[in-house]
Amino acid sequence: MYPITAVLAISTSELWEEVHSCLQQLPVRVVHEQAGVDDPAAFLDRIERTAPDVVLLDLLNCADVLPEMIRGIRATSSQPDVVALHVSSDPDAILNAIRAGAREYIYPPCSPSLQNALDRLSTERHKMAEKIRPGGRTFGLVSAKGGCGATTLACHAAAEIYRRTSQDTLVIDLDLSAGLVRTLFKTKSRYSILDACSNVNRLDKSFWRALVADGNHGLEVMGGPLEVAVKEAPSASQVRHVLRFVRSQYEWILVDLGRGFSPTLAGALDELDELLLVTTTEVPALQQAKRMIQYLRDRGMSQRSIKLVLNRVVRRPEVSIPELETMLGVAVFAVIGNDYWALYEAYAEGKLLAPDTHLCGQIGGMMAKLAGLEQAPKKRAFSFFS
């Protein structure tokens, strides 16, 4: 069974106990729960914000308005399925629930029926996600902790992809606490990813063109917020909506996801083809990387989609790659060297690294491997142990 998310609205204690007992044995993450639905508008707003795969709905307090309730749930952005719960197997109640649009009708003992229903839903959702992932390829980059260099890699990786393909390429800055992408590309646009996320209902090609900025490297940039402190972060569903839209507009999308765990990371995961987890070889960064890997697995990301990148690696590291792979439980995808002064000089001049620099060549090689592009000729091999 593939991991899924759920919202629970259960007011009957018997059902609550049975459902919780069943869910403890399944890869189902409860993103919100409440006792009944006293305020339908607030409940639907909560579903919109949490974007679950399924809503488990106790019929005790909403049988009279069930058709309207289910239509409202299904109209939210994630279009969750609804599983109706009731204490009895009354044939009329079952018929009314199915006619109203419920996917399943579950009554005690819940465990076998609920587990089978969620298993079917999980399989269908996974197959649907694979089928509806059209358009450009999307790569996310996230630092295990602050200072590991995901932003630097994201910007140079995007520039390298465009340089090698000349295809439409976009960089999105979802690091809401730093937002350095617009600085590195020196974009002047006053709009940010927050404007796109807060206007998902208006998002079309013309509206997007008014928001996006030229990155001066042949690619385009959707910068992070200009504000020092963001008052309200975009919801997971808003992030997913924007990433789904840009797939239809670009061949390549690079997403800077900032550092560590965040709501924007959670929202982006389902829309990524691969995630580059960037860490240094410092002990705190490696410890956080291990936590991040477990978090990503718990969220349903396959091991093959998690690409571990060792950044700012010195020529003679204290820990070998095999030791790191054993410690973290994943293979090292790429090793990027440490060239602080080359980056310092480039940034001081207000530009990215030149394509012919050694560090840029390593980043380009990493992206060529990830994206299946033709490798550029190597001037000199880089050895982790040299």
How would DSSP label each residue in 53-103? SEEEEESTTTGGGHHHHHHHHHTSTT--EEEEE-SS--HHHHHHHHHHT-S
Q: Spell out the alpha helix ranges (H) of 299-339.
A: 321-328
Q: Give pLDDT, residue 1.
A: 62
Amino acid code (one letter) for 214: D
Q: Which of 31, 22, 290 is nearest to 144 (CA)?
A: 290
Mind listing the pLDDT tens digit for each residue in 240-250? 889 989 998 99
pTM: 0.67
How would DSSP label each residue in 226-294? SSSS-SSPPPHHHHHHHHHHHHTT-SEEEEEEEESS-HHHHHHGGG-SEEEEEE-SSHHHHHHHHHHHH
Main-chain dihedrals φ then ψ at residue 84, nearest 5 degrees: -85, 135
pLDDT-flagged residues of the chain (< 50): 379-386
Query: In Å, how far are 4, 114, 162, 315, 360 from 121, measured between CA atoms?
Result: 9, 11, 39, 49, 45
Q: Give pLDDT, residue 380.
A: 45
Q: Which domains, from first to last, does the chain contain?
A: 4-131 (3.40.50.2300), 137-371 (3.40.50.300)
The β-bridge partners of 88 are none
- Say which DSSP state 216 is in: S
Q: Give pLDDT, residue 381.
A: 43
- Say which DSSP state 355 is in: T
Long-range contacts of 117-125 (CB under 8 A, 24+ apart): 117/83, 118/1, 118/4, 118/26, 118/28, 118/54, 118/83, 119/1, 121/4, 121/53, 121/54, 121/81, 122/1, 122/2, 122/3, 122/4, 122/27, 122/53, 123/1, 123/2, 125/2, 125/4, 125/53
Q: Give pLDDT, residue 385.
A: 38
Residues with Cβ within 8 Å of 333's Cβ and at least 6 positions away in sequence, in order, are 276, 307, 308, 309, 366, 369, 370
Main-chain dihedrals φ then ψ at residue 9, nearest 5 degrees: -130, 90
